[in-house]
Amino acid sequence: MTAQVDITKASAFLKTIITGQANEKELEWLDEQEDKLRNNFQLSSFYIAFSSTSRFIRKESLIFSEEQLIEADRIRNGFQPQYLSLLQSVRIYLLLMLPHKDTQKYTSNLQRLHETADMDEQVTLYCALPLFPYPEELSKSAAEGIRTNITDVFDAIALNNPYPADYLNQQAWNQMILKAVFMQRPLYRIYRAEERANPELAEMLIDFAHERWAANRKVLPGLWRFVGPFLNQTYFTDLEKVIKGNDDLEKDAGLLACANSEFPAAQQLLDQYPKIKKDIENGKLNWTIIGKRFEDELQK
């Protein structure tokens, strides 16, 4: 588990980013809300401010310097604010004002927000998970969130978010990865994905691949990232078919999985493709590149 986030530092960081990129009217509105909440916190005022933020703050992308991104990671390992909008950043800033001395009351208030939130608000609540106090208490809510069929909400939990890797139990983690594969989400954007690979997940993904093939459908190339470390003869037979097929991207993904395996036959097969093996060794072929190439193919 990670260390407790310093809420004061996280809040100050967000305020600096917001101040540097919001316009005068937006800052006036935020200052007014902050004065209300800091000086005389009322839960009703907090809920109103959170839900009405979209009327006063734009959904603009944010620009970060390298130093700011380093600072963000220092505040919370894996925190990637470059994927937040200005609107989301303001909402998270407001969320960090929610009193949290009483664990039960705090989590209850967050749950109430989830129950009444629209889609954009749900996305923000899940994006904010890495910065919330009592992260262990929120794992059930996160596990429930990954059951959604709304792509934006699912992505808020699964992608560019360190919370799942740190706090989801193995069952919830495996379900998240399986669903990401099913929904064809960019697996390379899942934080610490390889560290939480496990034999049960590999078996689930192989079963999923068989179902896809039986329906004459392709398998997401990034799937093999989670199978490679657990290759056995059965899995290798499937992987060998992929590598010897006609799809170059699937072939590269399969060989990259071989490179991540200690299974002797996998290493022998990789040796038959010296150029690709060299690209893997030189960092010219990795799971991020595989994922981006797949995204490019989808856009064609």
Full DSSP string of 169-209:
-HHHHHHHHHHHHHTT--GGGSTTTGGG--HHHHHHHHHHH
Is the Cβ–Cβ distance between 246 and 252 less than 8 Å? no
pLDDT (average), residues 168-194: 96
pLDDT value of residue 21? 96
pLDDT value of residue 297? 87
Q: What is the Cα 86 distance to its own chain's centre?
A: 19
pLDDT value of residue 166? 96
Over the stretch 229-280, which tens digit does the pLDDT of each residue have? 999 999 999 999 999 999 999 999 999 999 999 999 999 999 999 999 999 9
Over the stretch 100-120, which tens digit does the pLDDT of each residue have? 999 999 999 999 999 999 999
Cα within 13 Å of Cα(183), Cβ side: 21
Over the stretch 27-78, which tens digit does the pLDDT of each residue have? 999 999 999 999 999 999 999 999 999 999 999 999 999 999 999 999 999 9
Q: What is the Cα 112 distance to its own chain's centre?
A: 23
User: Is 0.85 topped by the overall pTM?
Assistant: yes
pLDDT value of residue 171? 97
211: part of which helix (H) or strand (E)? helix 199-214
CB atoms < 10 A from the CB of 17, how many?
A: 22
Over the stretch 138-160, which tens digit does the pLDDT of each residue have? 999 999 999 999 999 999 999 99
pLDDT value at 1 more than 80 = no
pLDDT value of residue 3? 54
| Ranges of each domain in the chain | 1-168, 170-300
Confidence of residue 185 (pLDDT cuts 50, 70, 90): very high
